[in-house]
Each structure stands twice: as C-alpha cells, then as structure tokens.
C-alpha cells in the first residue's frame, strides 16, 4: 500500500481522488506525465517543458510521484522542492523506479493493451513518446502494487495545455475554489455547489470546477442539460440518486479483485435502483432538447444481469469479510447447501441419537455431548456401565462417568467438523468465481459510474441554480465580459446565513474597447469581493453552470490570473513583497488578451513611491502590451489619473458615504468614476482605534495631502519611460560596428585614428 495506490474505501477520502503520477524527463528536460487515480479508470497523458512542470504538478496535485532512478540529482532536488508542502497545499510522496521501466515502446504497448486497441491514433497520442514512457512506469507500478492487472482502466485522456482555461495555483487559492485561504474545505465555491448525492458526483464536480474547457461546446451541452432538469424538477432525481453506492470505486475494486462482500451487495441494490433512474432520465430527455441527457439515459441502463447474479449469489446481509464465511446465499450452490445443512442439522441429529441410544441401552441418563478436546462422545455414569453395549468404544474415563464413542457418532463427527472448514473453503471459491463472472462487466460498470456521476453533478447544479436564483450565461464570439447584477455566491450565502443584510449586486462590462477597470474606494468597501465575483462568474459559466447574476454574456477566455492578498509564503522563504512581484511577473509573462486578470492592491508590500511606481508601470504594461481584461484595485489614488491617458481603461469605485458623526457607511455599489477619497481614517475609527490616534492621523493626513498636491504638479506618473534598449537584430549590425568595419587602419594617420575612435564612441552613446 502506497499513498498513490490506495483503493480501500475506508482509507480514501470520499470526495478526493488519490492520484498516482509518473514523470519521465527526456532530452532537453522535456517532461512526459502520465497519471491516474487507481480507483477511477482513466489514464491521463501530458507533456510539458521543465519550467512548466511545477504548475502541472500543482494542478494535478498527485499523492505520489514516480520518477526514474537516472534523473539527474539537480533535477531531483528541484522536483522535491516543487512538491514540498507549501501554502499551495501540494505535498506528495516521491518514489524512485528503475530507469528501464520508463520506456516509450513499452508504454505504448501497455496502453494499447489496456485500451484494447491497436494504436493510440484515436487519441492523437502516438507522438507523445515522453508521456508514453511515463505511462509505462505508471502502469507497471500500479500493477506491481495491486498484484493484479488493472482491468478497469479502459480510458485515455490526453491533456493539452491549450485545452482548458488556465487556473494557476494562485488563482485557485485566491478565489477559494476548493479551500479557503486558511485551508479549510468550507465556505468555498465547491462547498456551495456541492449538493451532490454521491461521492462520485462530488469528485466529478471538483474536476469540472478546476478544469473548465476553453471550447464552449462542452459548457453549452451542460447548460442545455441543466435547462431540461430545471424545467422538469430536480427533486425526484435527487431522491433516486441518494444512497447509491460509489460504483466508480467499486468497479475498480472488482477489477482488482479487492471488493468486499458488503460492497457487492450494495452494488446489487444500486444497480436495481438505476433501472428506475434510467427510465426517469429517458423521460426527461425525450421532453427536452439536450444531447447530454439523451446520452445519459443510454449510459445509465445498468447491466441487470450483474444485479441478478449478485442477489442470487449473496446473502441479503453478507458478512464483512469473506474470510469469516456467511457471504454466499442459500440455494446458490448445492454443495455449500449440503455442507451448511450438516452443520445446521447437527443439533437435531445429536438429540435424535441420544433418544435412540437411551431406548436401545435402557440408560435413562445417557447423554450425547461435545467438547473441543475430545469431540463428540456418549457419557454414561458409573452406576450404569454394565448396560453399555459392545459397539461402544471408550474414549475417556472420569471420576463418576465414562465417555464412549460409536462408529455412527465417529462418522458424524468427521463429517460435521470438516463440513465447517469445507463450507468456508467452498464460499471462498464461489466468491472468486463470482469475481470472475463480474470481470466482463467492468467496462459497462465503468460507463454506468461515469453516467451516474455526471447526472449527479448536473442535478446538483440545477438545484443550486434554482435555489440560489442563478441565470444561464450566454457565450459570444467577440471579446466581452458583460455581467448584469452579478453577485459573489459565497459572500452572498454567508450574508444570508448570518442575516447581515442583503448582498448588493453589481454590473461589469469589459469589451474590446474597455479592457481595464481601475477600482478605488475605501478598505472594506467591497473591491475584492467585486473582483472575485467577476472571476467566479466567468469560471462558473465556463464550466457550464448557471451563474449568480441577472444576465451574463461571455466571450472567449483562456486564463484567469489573480494577484490578491498578502500571504507570506514562509515555507518557501519568500517575503510578502517578493511573492507579490513573483506572482505579478508570472501574470505579465503569461496573460494574453483573452485572459482575465485580477490585480488587488499591487505594490502594497513596499514603500509608497516604490509601490506606486510599480503599480503604474504594471497597469501600463497590462493595458498597452498584454491587453488582458483587467480589474485593477488599488489604494493609490494617483492611479485614478490612468484612464485619462489610457483609452482602454476606466475608473470605477465602490461607494461609501460619511454618515452621522463622521462614521463611514459602505454601500458596496460599484459606480463609474474615481473614489473621491479613501476613508482610511474613518475605517480605522470604525475598527476601534483610540480617538487620540484617529485625531492625530487626521491632522497628519491633511498635511500630507497638501504636500502631495504640490508634488503632483511637478511630475507625471505615466510619463512614457525611455524605451528599453531593443535587443539588436543580428541581421542589421550596430552602426558603430558598421563604421568600424568600414575603417581602413592602414590608410589612417595617428590623428585620424584618434578621431575615428571618438566617432565610434559617440555612436555607442544612447540617443546617438
């Protein structure tokens, strides 16, 4: 048993998969990845270059990573570091495997065997040699630890970097998708969405949430299915889904021959219930226009032969383990029935024998008994010994009695004692045959499991959309994020729970012309909430869910990047500011014009001027070069000047008013234009900072504001910087070089040579 190869339901979290991953590092540090959850049945393949590896590992979050013994030690150290427990929550066991198992040809063959195909062409995976090498190691190790072939692993998925909307680890953390910033499972977007009836559904929902596809067809299909479910009522389906067993994991355990009797009887019940479920879904599908529902209705048809056989084979409440017997049903096997009858009839037989022997011998107190040491015997007291017949053989002498055995009793004893042992052996044998009989159904059970999980997720999303009053998003081809009356689902739910008042909905419009919002306003005004709600709505729509808004029109999106908050990553020895800049750098390098970027309070971790200068430069870069959809919240008031010089940006602010007694009241409403002031002192007062401190702060603030107004007249924050020296194009040499090449030293006088030197030097000066 290793962290990545657990299959026992009792040792696994219901709602997570334990993922095993193999990593092959080939020439030029090109990486092949192959991974699967052994309890699931799909092998995933991907390839990436070394610098991207960390991101992949964080996204996949494996429990155990296999790598080759010939991995150079420098790379190994980097790998260890990349997988070390960090605030990002990755931590995995590392297992070295012999280099020869990382073999592409072997991998291809193993995968073909697993998938029962002749080539990997259908998955367009023939050329992924590095990933195939990893797959060889993965399957080899899985078989090795399970001691069995992985009959249930029948699906392959090639994950291409461009396929899904990129959600870097920072984004997952900052948006609190599956974990709060404190590392708790709730309240998060997942915990809000997850009203799934089965663990299979919960696990699939997590995957949908973390892997939203860029191709809108998937989301459209899911949305169409949700529309059908919403129309026809979700409650009957929820009822039917409740209490179904984890068919996905059971299928894996059947294939690995590790399944327990009780799990199988649970499966039998689930299969029987699936029939009714399939019918309901078929009815729903025929009443609506959803390809996905029609597909589901097909795949939900359970292999009823399995259910029948299981019910016939297993006792209604079988023992937990086959070892103890009491698993196989009566009437399933004649030999077992006979063996059991012997045990069951023992008492009757002994009473009958006792009566018979009393009559035959005339010994009224003769007793037939049993003990562990001596087995069965007939006991006759001292006074009656003269009546004992010839065929009695003495077994034991006691003070007041003698114990005998007869040939008939001896024969019975042999039969009874061995019957118990033989019944146990027979049950085990029958159970193994039952597992044999189930193997051909493994693929059908796998299909059923996937269909059940999908249905469960759809039903949960439909229920959520109705209960929380969400709307269906629309997808448009042009660049656009248009949200009317958007809400932050988790904050809204919390406000409702605590009765702290209503959530104030807000609009967002970003399009080809306006790609950036500079968001100002007081702390606690709702800037972070607003930015996150936009990201969550984009994510929900992309995964094919309804969204917390009155309407939503969404263009193509390739990534959601976030730079939010100031959590020190002490485990990685990075200071707040270093982390802030590292994350900003990643965004500036990776974001594209189809990305959504959230920048919250960039530059906060350093001195005012440093921070302001960096914030202004980063905003400029995002606006001019990257052209991503950007929500840029800042406490630097100076940045509200930005839109006057940058046509793609607009100012918005969260509104607040000063109530009676100079107390601040947050309205949480996003309004056009810059905030009029920052209300920092008022917020401090609200937080209970002593009056004297507040008073002094007010005084200092007035002075600082006067000083800064004077300063601002003197310099321009967005003054275009001198262009960075362009990297020289090798095809056109620098003018100085050209001039140098043109010189003919043999014809120059010493004076001319000196002048030429001056000229060359001048050519090298900037601005020349």
Q: How far apart are CA 570 and CA 561, in angstroms?
A: 22
The torsion angles phi and psi of 522, rounded to 5 degrees, stand at -65, 155
682 belongs to the binding site for ligand ADP (CB under 6 A): no
Task: Give the nearer residue to ligand ADP in terms of CB position, either 493 or 756.
Answer: 493
Question: According to CB under 6 A, which one of 90, 108, 202, 529 is a site residue for ligand ADP?
Answer: 529
Strand-pair category, 401-405 with 19-25: unpaired
Nearest residue (beta carbon) to ligand ADP: 526
What is the nearest approach in angstroms of ligand ADP to the Cβ of residue 520? 9
Q: Identify the three-state secondary structure at position 23.
A: strand
Q: Does 503 bind ligand ADP (CB under 6 A)?
A: yes
User: Counting contacts by CB under 6 A, is residue 523 touching ligand ADP?
Assistant: yes
Quick check: 526 binds ligand ADP (CB under 6 A)?
yes
Q: How far is the CB of 716 from ligand ADP (least distance, A)?
A: 28
As a whole number of angstroms, the distance between CA 653 and CA 671 comes to: 5
486 near ligand ADP, rule: CB under 6 A: no
The DSSP code sequence of 703-742 is HHHHHHHHHHTT--TTPPPPPPPPPPPTTS--HHHHHHHH
Tokens standing for residue 620: 């400029």
Q: Are strands 629-633 and 516-520 parallel, antiparallel or unpaired?
A: parallel
528 belongs to the binding site for ligand ADP (CB under 6 A): yes
Binding segment for ligand ADP (CB under 6 A), chosen from 355-363, 375-383, 473-481, 517-525, is 517-525
Residues in 622-681 that interact with ligand ADP by CB under 6 A: 654, 668
Contact segment (CB under 6 A) with ligand ADP among 132-140, 336-344, 527-535, 538-546 equals: 527-535
Are 32 and 71 a contacting pair, CB within 8 Å?
Answer: no
Distance CA 739, CA 748 (A): 14
Residue with smaller CB distance to ligand ADP, 54 or 527: 527
Report the residue number, 529 or 620, with the smaller CB distance to ligand ADP: 529
**Under rule CB under 6 A, how many of the chain's residues touch ligand ADP?**
13
**Interface with ligand ADP, residue 327, by CB under 6 A:** no
Residue 330: closest CA among 316, 349, 309, 342: 316
Q: What is the CA radius of gyration of the chain?
A: 37
Nearer to ligand ADP, 294 or 528 (CB): 528
- For residue 555, the minimal CB distance to ligand ADP (Å) is 24
Indicate whether 537 belongs to the interface with ligand ADP (CB under 6 A): no
Question: Smallest distance, Å, CB 504 to ligand ADP?
Answer: 4
Instruction: Using alpha carbons, select from 660, 634, 664 the residue that is nearest to residue 649.
Output: 634
Cα–Cα distance for residue pair 482/629, rounded to 1 Å:
11
Stretch that binds ligand ADP, among 307-315, 320-328, 445-453, 518-526 (CB under 6 A): 518-526
Q: Is 491 in the site for ligand ADP (CB under 6 A)?
A: yes
Q: CB neighbours of 132 closer than 8 A, spacing ≥ 6?
A: 32, 34, 45, 104, 105, 107, 108, 111, 120, 125
Between 446 and 526, CB nearer to ligand ADP: 526
Smallest distance, Å, CB 548 to ligand ADP?
A: 11
Cβ closest to ligand ADP, residue 425 vs residue 495: 495
Q: Are 458 and 222 in contact (CB under 8 A)?
A: yes
| Cβ pair 196, 205 in contact under 8 A | yes
Interface with ligand ADP includes 483 (CB under 6 A)?
A: no
Identify the burial level of 683 via C-beta atoms within 10 angstroms of its C-beta, where 0-12 means exposed, 13-18 middle and 19 or more buried: middle
527 scored as a contact of ligand ADP (CB under 6 A): yes
- Pair 42, 36: CB distance under 8 Å: yes
In the bound complex, what is the minimum distance in angstroms from residue 494's beta carbon to ligand ADP?
7
**Nearest by Cα to 224 from 500, 438, 545, 530:** 545
Q: Which is nearer to ligand ADP, 613 or 683 (CB)?
A: 683
Near ligand ADP by CB under 6 A, which window of 198-206, 510-518, 521-529, 566-574? Answer: 521-529
Phi/psi for 510 (5° steps) reads: -125, 135
- Which region among 54-62, 183-191, 372-380, 525-533 touches ligand ADP (by CB under 6 A)? 525-533
Q: Contact letters (x/-) for ligand ADP, 120-159, by CB under 6 A?
A: ----------------------------------------
Binding residues vs ligand ADP (CB under 6 A): 491, 495, 503-504, 523-529, 654, 668
């Amino acid at each position: 048993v290793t962290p990545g190869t657990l299959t026992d339901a009792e040792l696994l979290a219901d709602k997570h998969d334990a993922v095993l991953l193999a990593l092959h590092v080939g020439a030029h540090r090109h990486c092949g990845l192959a991974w699967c959850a052994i309890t699931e049945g799909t092998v995933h393949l991907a390839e990436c270059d070394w610098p991207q590896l960390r991101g992949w590992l964080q996204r996949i979050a494996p429990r155990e990573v296999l790598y080759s013994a010939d991995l150079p030690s420098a790379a190994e150290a980097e790998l260890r570091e990349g997988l070390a427990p960090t605030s990002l929550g990755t931590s995995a066991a590392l297992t070295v495997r012999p280099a020869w198992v990382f073999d592409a040809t072997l991998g291809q063959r193993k995968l073909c065997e697993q998938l029962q195909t002749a080539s990997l062409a259908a998955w367009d995976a023939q050329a992924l040699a590095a990933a195939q090498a990893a797959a060889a190691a993965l399957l080899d190790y899985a078989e090795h630890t399970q001691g069995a072939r992985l009959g249930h692993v029948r699906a392959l998925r090639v994950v291409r970097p461009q396929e899904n909307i990129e959600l870097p680890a920072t984004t997952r953390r900052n948006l609190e998708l599956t974990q709060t910033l404190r590392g708790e499972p709730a309240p998060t977007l997942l915990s809000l969405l997850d009203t799934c009836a089965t663990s299979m559904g919960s696990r699939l929902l997590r995957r949908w949430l973390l892997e939203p596809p860029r191709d809108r067809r998937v989301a459209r299909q899911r949305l169409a299915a949700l529309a059908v479910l919403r129309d026809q009522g979700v409650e009957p389906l929820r009822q039917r889904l409740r209490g179904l067993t984890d068919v996905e994991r059971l299928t894996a355990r059947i294939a690995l021959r590790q399944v327990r009797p009780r799990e199988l009887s649970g499966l039998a019940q689930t299969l029987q219930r699936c029939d009714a479920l399939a019918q309901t879904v078929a009815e729903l599908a025929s009443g609506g226009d959803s390809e996905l529902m029609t597909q589901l209705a097909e795949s939900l048809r359970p292999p009823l032969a399995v259910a029948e056989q299981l019910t016939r084979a297993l006792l209604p409440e079988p023992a937990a383990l086959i070892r103890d017997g009491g698993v196989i049903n009566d009437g399933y096997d004649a030999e077992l029935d006979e063996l059991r009858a012997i045990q069951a009839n023992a008492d009757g037989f002994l009473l009958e024998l006792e009566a018979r022997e009393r009559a035959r011998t005339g010994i009224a107190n003769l007793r037939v008994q049993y003990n562990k040491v001596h087995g069965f015997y007939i006991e006759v007291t001292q006074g009656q010994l003269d009546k004992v017949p010839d065929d009695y053989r003495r077994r034991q002498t006691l003070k007041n009695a003698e114990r005998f055995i007869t040939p008939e009793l001896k024969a019975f004893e042999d039969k009874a004692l061995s019957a118990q042992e033989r019944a146990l052996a027979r049950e085990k044998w029958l159970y193994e045959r039952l597992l044999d009989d189930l193997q051909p159904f493994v693929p059908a059970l796998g299909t059923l499991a996937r269909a059940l999980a999908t249905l469960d997720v759809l039903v949960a999303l439909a229920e959520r959309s109705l209960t929380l009053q969400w709307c269906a998003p629309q997808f448009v081809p042009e660049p656009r994020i248009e949200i009317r009356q958007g809400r932050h689902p988790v904050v809204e739910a919390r406000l409702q729970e605590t009765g702290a008042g209503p959530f104030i909905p807000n609009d967002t419009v970003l399009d080809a012309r306006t790609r950036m919002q500079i968001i100002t306003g007081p702390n606690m005004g709702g800037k972070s909430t607003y930015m996150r709600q936009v990201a969550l709505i984009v994510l929900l729509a992309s995964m094919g869910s309804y969204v917390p808004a009155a309407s939503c029109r969404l263009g193509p999106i390739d990534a959601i990047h976030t730079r939010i908050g100031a959590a020190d990553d002490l485990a990685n020895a990075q200071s707040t500011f270093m982390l802030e800049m590292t994350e900003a750098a990643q965004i500036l390098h990776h974001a594209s014009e189809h990305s959504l970027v959230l920048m919250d309070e960039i530059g906060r971790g350093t001195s005012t001027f440093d921070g302001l200068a960096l914030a202004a430069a980063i905003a400029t870069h995002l606006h001019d070069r990257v052209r991503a959809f950007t929500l840029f919240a800042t406490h630097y008031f100076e940045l509200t000047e930005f839109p006057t010089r940058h046509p793609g940006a607009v100012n918005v602010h969260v509104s607040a008013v000063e109530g009676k007694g100079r107390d601040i009241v947050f309205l949480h409403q996003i309004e056009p234009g810059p905030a009029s002031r920052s209300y920092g002192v008022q917020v401090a007062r609200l937080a209970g900072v002593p009056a004297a401190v507040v008073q002094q702060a007010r005084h200092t603030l007035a002075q600082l504001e006067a000083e800064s107004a004077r300063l601002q007249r003197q310099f321009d924050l967005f003054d275009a910087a001198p262009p960075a020296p362009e990297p020289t194009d090798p095809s056109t040499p620098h003018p100085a070089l050209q001039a140098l090449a043109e010189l003919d030293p043999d014809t120059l006088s010493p004076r001319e040579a000196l002048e030429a030197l001056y000229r060359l030097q001048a050519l090298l000066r900037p601005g020349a």
